[in-house]
Amino acid sequence: MVQSSVLGFPRIGPFRELKKTTEAYWSGKATVEELFKVGKELREKNWKLQKEAGVDIIPSNDFSFYDHVLDHSLLFNVIPERYSKYELAPIDTFFAMGRGLQRAATDSAPAVDVPATEMVKWFDSNYHYVRPTFSKNVQFKLNGTKPIDEFLEAKALGIHTRPVLVGPVSYLFLGKADKDNLDLEPITLLDQLLPVYAELLAKLKEAGADSVQIDEPVLVLDLPTEVQAAYKKAYEFLVSETAPKLFLTSYFGDVRPNIESIKGLPVAGFHADFVRVPEQLDAVVGALSSTQILSVGIVNGRNIWKANLSKAIEFVKTAIEKVGAERVVVATSSSLLHTPVTLANEKKISAEIKDWFAFATEKVTEVVVIAKAVTDGVDSVADILAANTASIAARESSSITNDPAVRERVSKITEEMTHRKSPFAARLAAQKAHLDIPAFPTTTIGSFPQTKDIRIVRNKFTKGEISAEEYEKFIEKEIASVVKFQEEVGLDVLVHGEPERNDMVQYFGEKFNGYVFTSNGWVQSYGSRYVRPPIIVGDVSRPGPITVKESKYAQSITKKPMKGMLTGPVTCLRWSFPRDDISNKIQAQQLALALLDEVQDLEAAGVYVIQVDEPAIREGLPLRAGAERDDYVKWAVESFRLATSGVEDKTQIHSHFCYSDLDPNHIKALDADVVSIEFSKKDDPNYIQEFSEYPNHIGLGLFDIHSPRVPPKEEFVARINEILKVYPKENLWINPDCGLKTRGWTETRAALQNMVDAAKEFRAKY
């Protein structure tokens, strides 16, 4: 019998129960008992759901109150002294590491003030994990029993689970040295860490676990040789009589470059992601011994599309031909953490489109169906397969997915369309001739504080409680006041403030053809922050102008240049669930053409400075160096240029980036006239140098928009002086790190005033 296996299930609950309870706990509105109770209910619900669906191998310890990697840090006592010194309850230390903690002193406890640990993207997903941070005096020890407790909790419900752990090599490699210990290479801690894993495994076995899923996702990255070599050492140490069977799990990519690290390991089985890389089947099979299990990741854990069941069944059959049915398991490609919980609560999406989707709950069933088909024959699931085939065919031929006009337009994209008319120097001259922009020009990144007021009115409009006219009046009033504010402060290039936008991608998605939106399709981004990515279902086009009215109005009420504000094609794609039936490149091209129309309409309306934000361009970069990565860079850059090149020289194109370490070469390739980059928190002195050769104009973010802190003018002056050591003064813009949407007005005014005053000082001096 071929078994079915799920590698992990979303923990947030169908209605964001986890967010509600953790945030209530943080604000003192729920007790720790209430918090734990909700956690327990969510786990129970998830296990039962999988059991009832017929899953054979159900995960446990995939739950977390914040982040599963952080769970491991607590479990192994990887807690820097700045957190442990407060001797908080374990759950509070856990949250303090995840999100920082600031608490006034009480009679019984001293004040607490500690920032969060670094958080980074989990591979190429939009999930963020809390980075293990190894300080000098790290003392590994088993500091808790979470995996054992959760295994027993399921057992008490009559559900036998497979606990999930992050493997020791990945845990170390994904971590970093703490500030007090910068020379440390975390992988050198392996010998000290392994006995703690062994102890944990022994306890799991005692509790009744016969197998453990041990995640080693770094196997899909470019690994240094010492990390490749660590696998043999780690797994020869961990596989023993006292440990449950170990199933080594990779996902999100290609293990072939590290295949030698897997060969010969004494583990019971190996999982690979064959949705992403079906071509790795032979290599993976070749690396296994004649008794090792092959877990075939074939239901996509990263998207929302129904699997093509017949194709998946064929693939599993191929695997069976190679290794025999008794050695094959059918699995999700990765944990389902990255997909929304269930389709059941989506009432607004049309039945036709909904039939194309599978969220986590529906994917669980797919895994079961595929396993049944290869065990009992396809006839045993004939009805389900027939419905699946019909649904796939309907999507393929639907007029929603296929817009011949869009296809035709994409096919006519030429190289020429991705180049501005003239080189930067000529453009700059044309821009200077008609735009009133002084030296050290000041500007902001787009959004201004989104007060409760704005959200209330927007909600009323969405619900139809106020008319479009009333809403437009309100937005105009907001724009007018933001423009007045910027003139008072003395900014040079103004923005309209984005009061009409809920989210920088959703806003555009709602206006484009080809997108749909869920009501409850939340996915965890980090901690209690969840996102509801829009879904690209069909060919994307722009039925009409999107931002022109607001930008034109804003320009009409000021003499200063007004900056139009758009979200770039790559960011629109990356922060949505993309289609799986056409390439990302083509989707980016479609988005770029739609945005090109908008850019040209803005220009025609007299908006001669246009910013196209691409904060997500870095995160789309494929995990490994090589052809795939080069290809991504090529089409990502081209789609940005396609969207922004169809303007006259005198129109100034800006772009903006945040959240990531960017490669200056990629930014250079975009050929924007001006770029603004999040910068104020970069403590690496080399970072500033990296962009020093940047040929066009640049604004390095001068203050942190995540904090209410107001930097004094002297601080701005000092920062600008630092930057001027590296950059020519003619190239420099003066701006904050990012949009001011989450800030309050008081600190916004004060910070911007100090920034503008500093710029004026430089302007007078040079």
Number of residues that bind ligand GLN (CB under 6 A): 13
Question: Is residue 304 within the footprint of Zn ion (CB under 5 A)?
Answer: no
The 3-state DSSP class for residue 644 equals: helix
DSSP one-letter string for 498-521: -TT-SSTTHHHHHHSEEEE--SS-
Place of tokens 């040929």: 695
- Phi, psi of 676, rounded to the nearest 5 degrees: -120, 140
Nearer to Zn ion, 642 or 738 (CB): 738
Which one of the spans 115-123, 319-327, 582-590, 734-742 is the region binding ligand GLN (CB under 6 A)? 734-742
Which residues in the 396-455 window bind ligand GLN by CB under 6 A? 445-447
Out of 320, 454, 565, 594, point to the residue binding ligand GLN (CB under 6 A). Answer: 565
**Rounded Cα distance, 536 and 515, in Å:** 5
Nearer to ligand GLN, 406 or 705 (CB): 705
Nearer to Zn ion, 120 or 439 (CB): 120
List C-alpha distances in Å: 501 to 59, 158, 682, 745: 39, 48, 29, 18
Nearer to ligand GLN, 345 or 707 (CB): 707
Question: Is residue 349 within the footprint of ligand GLN (CB under 6 A)?
Answer: no
Least gap, CB of 738 to Zn ion (angstroms):
3
The 10 Å Cβ neighbour count of residue 224 is 12
Nearer to ligand GLN, 14 or 446 (CB): 446
Which one of the spans 133-141, 596-604, 642-650, 737-745 is the region binding ligand GLN (CB under 6 A)? 737-745
Least gap, CB of 735 to ligand GLN (angstroms):
10
Site string for ligand GLN, 608-647 (x = CB under 6 A): -----x-x--------------------------------
Which residues in the 451-480 window bind Zn ion by CB under 5 A? none
Nearer to ligand GLN, 499 or 578 (CB): 499
Angle at 734 (CA atoms; ends 732, 740), nearest 5 degrees: 145
- Whether 217 and 254 have beta carbons less than 8 Å apart is answered as no
Q: Does 706 qualify as catalytic in the annotation?
A: yes
Question: Is residue 673 within the footprint of ligand GLN (CB under 6 A)?
Answer: no
Site string for ligand GLN, 476-515 (x = CB under 6 A): ----------------------x-----x-----------
Out of 741, 743, 748, 758, point to the residue binding ligand GLN (CB under 6 A). Answer: 741
Residues ≥6 apart with Cβ < 8 Å to 518: 340, 346, 348, 349, 532, 535
Least gap, CB of 551 to ligand GLN (angstroms):
13
What residue number has its CB nearest to ligand GLN?
739
Point out the catalytic residue in the list 72, 656, 697, 706.
Answer: 706
Out of 246, 595, 658, 720, point to the residue binding ligand GLN (CB under 6 A). Answer: 658
Nearer to Zn ion, 615 or 620 (CB): 615
List C-alpha distances in Å: 368 to 274, 298, 470, 488: 17, 12, 52, 64
The 10 Å Cβ neighbour count of residue 93 is 20
Question: Is residue 535 within the footprint of ligand GLN (CB under 6 A)?
Answer: no
Site string for Zn ion, 599-638 (x = CB under 5 A): ----------------x-----------------------
Residues ≥6 apart with Cβ < 8 Å to 3: 56, 57, 329, 330, 371
Secondary structure string (H, E, C) spanning 233-283: HHHHHHCCCCCCEEEEECCCCCCHHHHHHHCCCCCCEEEEECCCCHHHHHH
List C-alpha distances in Å: 400 to 356, 387, 521, 570: 12, 20, 21, 22
The span from the first CA to the last CA of the chain, in angstroms, equals: 79
- Whether 273 and 349 have beta carbons less than 8 Å apart is answered as no
Out of 128, 656, 666, 719, point to the residue binding ligand GLN (CB under 6 A). Answer: 656
Angle at 719 (CA atoms; ends 713, 725), nearest 5 degrees: 140
Out of 381, 738, 752, 756, point to the residue binding Zn ion (CB under 5 A). Answer: 738
Residue 372 interacting partner from ligand GLN, Zn ion, none (CB closer than 5 to 8 Å by kind): none
Place of tokens 């995840």: 98
The 3-state DSSP class for residue 678 equals: coil
H helix intervals, 324-450: 351-354, 360-376, 382-397, 404-411, 424-434
Which residues in the 656-685 window bind Zn ion by CB under 5 A? 658
Question: Is residue 49 within the footprint of Zn ion (CB under 5 A)?
Answer: no
The 3-state DSSP class for residue 694 equals: coil
**Rounded Cα distance, 553 and 502, in Å:** 20
Question: Is residue 14 within the footprint of ligand GLN (CB under 6 A)?
Answer: no
Residue 533 interacting partner from Zn ion, ligand GLN, none (CB closer than 5 to 8 Å by kind): none
Residues contributing to the site for Zn ion (CB under 5 A) = 615, 658, 738
Q: Which sequence positions are flagged as catalytic? A: 706
Binding site for ligand GLN (CB under 6 A): 445-447, 498, 504, 565, 613, 615, 656, 658, 738-739, 741
